[in-house]
Amino acid sequence: MLRFFILFLLCASLFGAEVERYRWINGETYLVFLEKNNLPTKELYYNLDTEDQRLTEELLTGINYQVAKSAKGEIEQILLPLNDELQIHIYKEEDKYKFEAIPIIATTETETFSVIMQQSPIGDIVRETGSKKLAQIFATSFKNSLNFKTGIKPGDTLVMIYEQKYRLGKPFSIPSLKAAMVEVSGKKNFIYLNDDEKYYDEKGSQAEEFLLGRPIAGARMTSPFTKKRFHPVLKKWKAHLGIDYGARPGTPVFAAGDGFINYAANAGSYGNLIRISHTDGFETRYAHLKSFKNGVRKGKNVKKGEVIAYVGTTGRSTGPHLHFELRKKGVAINPLNVVQVATVNLQGKQKAAFDRLAKNYNEKIESHLNNKPEYQKPRKTRAKCYFYNETPPPEEEEAENS
């Protein structure tokens, strides 16, 4: 709490200081950024310890960052988000610039919207909300139980209840779907995020896959799983017991399923490698990584979809890509053959608790359908704003959501 209080004082001292928003340029490094802004590289990079230097390598193309300047145009503070939880804070104190990594302070809002479908759930969600992220989480959550191509018709109703984080008054990070209802030919289909962070249908049956189809977003498959492939480096035929996904260096890599990390280090031809152990003897492997996410290490538990590393070209590699493997009791399996665990049906006290949660969401969904409130798209913020020109959230809320 002391850290947040100090940060608040620093920001409060800049009340009226102009803050400009920017997007991180493709290919720009942290050192180039410092030099371009006439900031001291010695204090803000070379004097940092190894872990903090590594953090600066995690800055990704396209992130939105903020620069606060004094009335004279001098940089006073910079906030550079690294991921959903952590950001680099550069600030001026007694005419010297200092560096620290701090949690991102965000508020979380529960929001609801509904739409009568005209073409498809994905297209209609984007049309109504302008959010591709909302369309993405809807498709991911319902993909095992609904046929989007033939099952849903124009005139069917869709309702979503979700949580959205806001940072400096602007939507931030991927929204979290809490509950949803899709009407198909008059029949209502529900899905709920239970307290165990897994999705269930209205009967209390688990409704999600064991593994992600692919542990990287928007990447192209450059080499499939095969028992024989002509190796581009070794120049000989060799089994390729995984799938290669070509992507830009620094692209986030996600854990394909819940599990714990049994290896996170360099592994020769694999380069930087992470191995994750899952239930029923399954193991996933992620190779040629540029770096690991801060805090990722052997023995750490991870959740499906959690960022664990970033694409690179370490080890025996001809270019930046992710080599992804799936094994069962040591035997390689084609990751494209979707692996599912047996359906989990809640029982006893767990089922009773789930029924209460589902009832609460159902009431909210019915209320929303009855009242039909108009969806309010997030307002567009100006490129320039001011730190704390609005009432800051209570300290308890900051601590909970930061």
- Please check whether residues 111 and 100 belong to one and the same domain: no
- Please check whether residues 88 and 127 belong to one and the same domain: no
Cα separation, 135 vs 149, in Å, equals 15
- Residue 245 placed within a domain: yes
- Residue 214 placed within a domain: no
- Residue 215 placed within a domain: no
| Confidence tier at 145 by pLDDT (50, 70, 90) | low
Cα separation, 338 vs 277, in Å, equals 17
- Please check whether residues 293 and 327 belong to one and the same domain: yes
| Confidence tier at 379 by pLDDT (50, 70, 90) | low
Q: What is the pLDDT of residues 29-78, one digit of tens each?
A: 999 999 999 999 999 999 998 888 888 888 887 788 999 998 888 899 99
- Please check whether residues 198 and 347 belong to one and the same domain: yes
372 or 110, higher pLDDT = 110
Average pLDDT rounded to a whole number, residues 280-304? 91
Write down the pLDDT at residue 4: 39
Write down the pLDDT at residue 335: 77
- Please check whether residues 52 and 136 belong to one and the same domain: no
Assign 358 to helix, strand or coil. Answer: helix
- Please check whether residues 142 and 163 belong to one and the same domain: yes
Write down the pLDDT at residue 257: 87
- Residue 376 placed within a domain: no
- Residue 30 placed within a domain: yes
The CATH number covering residue 347 comes to 3.10.450.350
- Please check whether residues 237 and 202 belong to one and the same domain: no
Q: What is the pLDDT of residues 329-357, one digit of tens each?
A: 887 888 776 444 445 788 899 999 999 99
How many domains does the structure of the chain reveal? 3
User: Which range marks the domain in which residue 86 is found?
Assistant: 2-104+382-401
The terminus-to-terminus CA distance of the chain in angstroms comes to 11
- Please check whether residues 63 and 120 belong to one and the same domain: no
Cα separation, 241 vs 226, in Å, equals 6
Structure tokens at 36: 């371009």
- Please check whether residues 95 and 112 belong to one and the same domain: no
Whether residue 186 is predicted with pLDDT greater than 60 in this model: the reply is: yes
- Residue 188 placed within a domain: yes
300 or 332, higher pLDDT = 300
Write down the pLDDT at residue 285: 94
- Residue 181 placed within a domain: yes
- Please check whether residues 112 and 89 belong to one and the same domain: no
Query: Which of 225-239, 263-277, 322-336 is most confident?
Result: 263-277
- Please check whether residues 257 and 162 belong to one and the same domain: no
Convert the chain into a string of H (helix), E (strand) and C (coil): CHHHHHHHHHHHCCCCCEEEEEECCCCCCHHHHHHHCCCCHHHHHHCCCHHHHHHHCCCCCCCEEEEEECCCCCEEEEEEECCCCEEEEEEEECCEEEEEEEECCCEEEEEEEEEECCCCHHHHHHHHHCCHHHHHHHHHHHCCCCCCCCCCCCCCEEEEEEEEEEECCEEEEEEEEEEEEEEECCEEEEEEECCCCCEEECCCEECCCCCCCCCCCCCEEEECCEEEEECCCCCCEEEECCEEEECCCCCEEECCCCEEEEEEEECHHHCEEEEEECHHHEEEEEEEEEEECCCCCCCCEECCCCEEEEEECCCCCCCCEEEEEEEECCEEECCCCCCCCCCCECCHHHHHHHHHHHHHHHHHHHHHHHHCCCCCCCCCCCCEEECCCCCCCCHHHHHHHC
- Please check whether residues 100 and 111 belong to one and the same domain: no
- Residue 291 placed within a domain: yes
Does this model's pTM top 0.75? My answer is no
Distance of CA 72 to the CA centre of its chain: 37
The CATH number covering residue 299 comes to 2.70.70.10
